[in-house]
Amino acid sequence: MTDRPLVAVLDYGSGNVHSAVKALDAAGADARLTADRGLVMDADGLVVPGVGAFSAVMAALRAIRADELIDRRLAGGRAVLGICVGMQVLFERGLERGVDTEGLGEWPGAVTELDAPVLPHMGWNTVQPDAGSRLFARIERERFYFVHSYAATGWHLHTEPPFPSAVLTWCAYGAVPFLAAVENGPLTATQFHPEKSGPAGIRLLSNWIDGLRAATL
């Protein structure tokens, strides 16, 4: 691996992919938008973006068998970063407008509609990372850009030593806090859009890329 880790941005028809590629490049990666299975598997990191409905994103991922690629990468301890709906589909199920859709099942639990008077949750908000977060190092008090109506409001994955617990980051909006980010071994995800979050988002992506470098040492 060079000083600029190779990051595959999964091309499966989702929006916002070009802004994600530009942000990753600015953060220090060699980012490439691709659906090539070999490149997706061989890259130092894989980014799974996602906008729109949970069911539509899952259908598009399965259409190119990306669910298999994500699972294989994680089984081998290879880094994956999900963004927005790309985070949501990592859970077992998505409940959206009366439709119950099976997710990738990397984490237990369901994604549901936020209990808030105004939806979508759109704009800048602060987050509360757990102690020890590497993703939010030096940016714990920054604001990040959200645009969503659904999220995971609970964490149901319990680990026993020697396996470390996940590092969770929460956000307050509406009646119930929701997960803004998760750091769980090789699998990381954010409900907000780092690529739309200005310098703080670039710093967060840089922190994730630093983890790719450290994994090869």
Which of these is catalytic: 84, 96, 106, 148?
84
> How many CB atoms are closer than 10 A to CB 65?
10
Is 171 assigned a catalytic role?
Answer: no
SS3 readout for 88-152: HCCEEEEEECCEEEECCCCEEEEEEECCCCCCCEEEEEECEECCCCCCCCCCCCCEEEEEECEEC
**Catalytic one among 121, 148, 171, 193?**
193
Q: In what order do the strands lie in the sheet with 187-190?
A: 30-34, 6-10, 45-48, 79-83, 187-190, 178-184, 167-171, 128-129
| Peptide bond just before 162 cis, omega within 30 deg | yes
User: Is residue 156 annotated as part of the catalytic site, yes or no?
Assistant: no
Q: Which residues are catalytic?
A: 84, 193, 195
